[in-house]
Amino acid sequence: MPRFAGIATFARLPRLDEVGRADIAVAGVPFDSGVSYRPGARFGPSHVREASRLLRPYNPAQDVFPFGAQQVADAGDIVANPFDLEAAVADIEAGSRALHDSADRIVVIGGDHTIALPLLRDIAAKHGPVAVLHFDAHLDTWDTYFGAPITHGTPFRRASEEGLIDLTASMHVGTRGPLYDKQDLVDDERLGFAVVTSEFVEEHGVAAAIERMRARIGDAPLYISIDIDVLDPSHAPGTGTPEAGGLTSRELLRMLRALSDLQIVGADVVEVAPAYDHAQLTAIAASHVVYELLSAMAPAADASGDGSANA
């Protein structure tokens, strides 16, 4: 079958119902009722799957076969009520919990950033408070919008208040752009986040950013949440709240590779909104981000082998 033919699962992987169990399930959450600006991230999962057809089995940058060293399968979508935010976050948490019956870990494609809250509720129920490494142009620790506590600008404040995150090991990477107030940064620090801004990366380089990230995380169980708007709009135009001056996809992929020896317990890639995309730029970037995450989550090849035993 040519890679451009057939129904698009992520990276043309088998469906979870075809393999029964997986080490890692990739799942979509087509939900965007929490957005504050441009809508459309509900169409993110299918757009990223479509753009992921060209991914190949061997990742030379991490010397790993991400789909050979472990069973990865596409679990389809977790369905969330588009008309009721409270119901939606309950749906997503329940969907994540159910999926963990047949997969050790899950990597979620959003959807807007609201979905990180119910995903973290499930993850923290399993692991206790986790280090959250949050790649984003935005803090997403704001309090309310029009009185609403659950939006895509608030998941990490709620998660912090609920005791879901390790306050000594969590960090934002790639933040930039205008805030509402100086106090936003004061609140953010109190909520448990250190920050590596986009400007820091420009001034000190990716290696220094990685050093800060690793020092902050230590050996805590790690949840990685990647808002695609961490990338510069030139690399990822297809998103709802774009901000100038972001990371390149090359910088982001390199940062993810540097996490491969850490205890990654789950991840999401969110905020891909295809209506504003061009030539699949954003979806291609997102598909490679997911691929790099799956590679980083793969067990290290043993000294004698190349990790390709089951490829």
- Known binding-site residues equal 113, 136, 138, 140, 227, 229
36 near ligand ALG, rule: CB under 6 A: yes
Please report, for residues 17, 31, 158, 165, 222, the alpha-carbon distance to residue 129 in angstroms, rounded to integers and kept in the order given.
31, 25, 13, 4, 9
Q: Which tokens is 65 given?
A: 């076969």
The one of ligand ALG, Zn ion, none whose footprint includes residue 36, by CB under 5 to 8 A per kind, is: ligand ALG
Subset of 132-161 contacting ligand ALG (CB under 6 A): 138, 140, 152-153
Annotated binding site for Mn(2+): 113, 136, 138, 140, 227, 229
Which three-class secondary structure string do you get for 68-114? Answer: CCCCEEEEEECCCCCCCHHHHHHHHHHHHHHHCCCEEEEEEEECCHH
229 near ligand ALG, rule: CB under 6 A: yes
CB neighbours of residue 297 within 10 Å: 26
Q: Which tokens is 201 given?
A: 């990366």
Compute the distance between CA of residue 165 and CA of residue 159 in angstroms, rounded to an integer. 6
Q: Which stretch binds Zn ion (CB under 5 A): 38-46, 65-73, 113-121, 247-255?
A: 113-121
Among residues 113, 172, 176, 235, the one that binds Zn ion under rule CB under 5 A: 113
Compute the distance between CA of residue 219 and CA of residue 98 in angstroms, rounded to an integer. 27
The DSSP secondary-structure symbol of 169 reads: T
Q: How far is the CB of 156 from ligand ALG (least distance, A)?
A: 10
Q: Judge residue 206's burial from the number of C-beta atoms within 10 Å of its C-beta, 0-12 exposed, 13-18 middle, 19 or more buried.
A: middle
The one of Zn ion, ligand ALG, none whose footprint includes residue 153, by CB under 5 to 8 A per kind, is: ligand ALG
The one of Zn ion, ligand ALG, none whose footprint includes residue 277, by CB under 5 to 8 A per kind, is: none
Residue labelled with tokens 């009721």? 84
* Overall size of the chain counted in residues: 311
Give the nearer residue to ligand ALG in terms of CB position, either 140 or 251.
140
Query: With contacts defined by CB under 6 A, how many residues of the chain interact with ligand ALG?
Result: 12
Give the nearer residue to ligand ALG in terms of CB position, either 37 or 308.
37
Q: Which tokens is 12 given?
A: 């043309």
42 near ligand ALG, rule: CB under 6 A: no
| Binding interface with Zn ion (CB under 5 A) | 113, 136-138, 140, 227, 229
| Binding interface with ligand ALG (CB under 6 A) | 36-37, 113, 138, 140, 152-153, 227, 229, 240-241, 271
